[in-house]
Structure 1
Amino acid sequence: MKSWLALYKYRGQERLKEVLGPMLMHALQLHRADGKRESTEYITFVPLSKERFDERGFNQAEQLAIELGKRTQIPVLPLFERTRHTNKQSLKARAERVEDMLGVFRIASVGMEGLQRLQRQHLSVKLFIVDDVYTTGSTLNECARVVKERFPAIEVYGLNWAR
């Protein structure tokens, strides 16, 4: 798994998205099997900073989300924006990661409008946030915090390719 991720994320082997994306199906099915009432479902993804995007040329989390959306017919929304660049989280201890991620994300204006519309319609919403790797949870927790702070009724779930 490490070698696949390295080829995909750091060596630009973008064709692997077609293999890795569908692997998120199992995690999605586990969240769907929670027995709760019907919900409107959306997929979003963790955004990269401009610097990281320029370095890689693509956002791996976005590509995985799009692949999952194709297979499930769940709409993919570009919900988040980064407020600042952070250094690579893989080089930091857990406490540093948590502190570094505070305030890094906000809901983009397009996403805000869509979520406000759903809130006015009183629809039950499940939001699946895609990221490639879960290490400490600080990235997903910060994304979820931003959503829950403004929209507490939305159910937020993380979907990761690897841990």
Structure 2
Amino acid sequence: MAHLATPAQQTKPQWRPAAVTYVPVSSERLAERGFNQAERLAAGLATACRLPIVDLLQRQINTTKQSFKSRGERIETMKNAFSINPDGMHLVKELYRESYLPTQKGMSQAKPIQILLIDDIYTTGSTLDACGQAILNAGFSMEIPVEIYTLTLARS
């Protein structure tokens, strides 16, 4: 007689990103608020999960507040708004070398490094998309396969 495992008995590999990063705010917005909500969320989550937090992105341009813009205006505003912080990408490269190049019978296999990208609010996805593109492009140029997962506190 076959025995079926209950859901509690089935073991799935636990998903665990290699690092946590966040959407940066402009220096003007930082001065206005005094803090970056996405950075605070990322720091709390990274601490709770014992994951490294990486200052991976930098804002290239000060985009005006997105809340009153249409979807199309938001997408256009976010084009080229972010770039990679070279120090952060260096840390990603080190994490990739340490954890994501397992050898199997002497051969290297490139498993993508998984990065969790945090933002405070999701409206159209244009900010997360722009940040993700910057990370993917940097990974591609450094020959590091990257998978990006996103998490937001709220949806507008």
The answer to whether TM tops 0.5 is yes
Match of 1:101 among 66, 78, 96: 78
Query: What letter is aligned with 1:130?
Result: I
CA deviations over 1:19-69 (Å, ceiling 9, x no partner): xxxxxxxxxxxxxxxx67976511000001000000000000000111111
Shift in Å, 1:84: 1.0
Task: Report the number of matched residues.
Answer: 129
Normalising by the residue count of structure 1, what TM-score does the alignment of the two structures yield?
Answer: 0.72
Normalising by the residue count of structure 2, what TM-score does the alignment of the two structures yield?
Answer: 0.75
| Structure 1: gaps spanning 5 or more residues | 1-34
1:145-156 matched pairs, under 5 angstroms: 145-152=133-140, 153-156=145-148
Equivalent position of 1:157 in the other structure: 149
1:42-121 matched pairs, under 5 angstroms: 42-120=19-97
**Whole-angstrom distance in 2 between the partners of 1:39 and 1:71:** 13
Secondary structure, in 3 states, of the residue corresponding to 1:147?
helix
Query: What letter is aligned with 2:74?
Result: R
Shift in Å, 1:119: 4.7
Alpha carbons 1:39, 1:125 under 8 Å: kept: no
**Whole-angstrom distance in 2 between the partners of 1:40 and 1:90:** 30
Shift in Å, 1:117: 3.2
Equivalent position of 2:7 in the other structure: none
Equivalent position of 1:140 in the other structure: 128
Larger strand share, 1 or 2: 2
Bigger Rg, structure 1 or 2: 2
Query: What letter is aligned with 1:151?
Result: G
% same residue: 40
Shift in Å, 1:141: 0.4
Query: What letter is aligned with 1:61?
Result: A
Alpha carbons 2:56, 2:88 under 8 Å: kept: yes
Alpha carbons 2:17, 2:116 under 8 Å: kept: no
Larger helix share, 1 or 2: 1
Q: Do the aligned partners of residues 132 and 41 (structure 1) sit closer, same or farther apart at CA in structure 2, a change above 3 Å counting?
A: same
**Whole-angstrom distance in 1 between the partners of 2:80 and 2:25:** 14
Shift in Å, 1:109: 1.6
Shift in Å, 1:70: 1.5
Q: Do the aligned partners of residues 66 and 118 (structure 1) sit closer, same or farther apart at CA in structure 2, a change above 3 Å counting?
A: closer
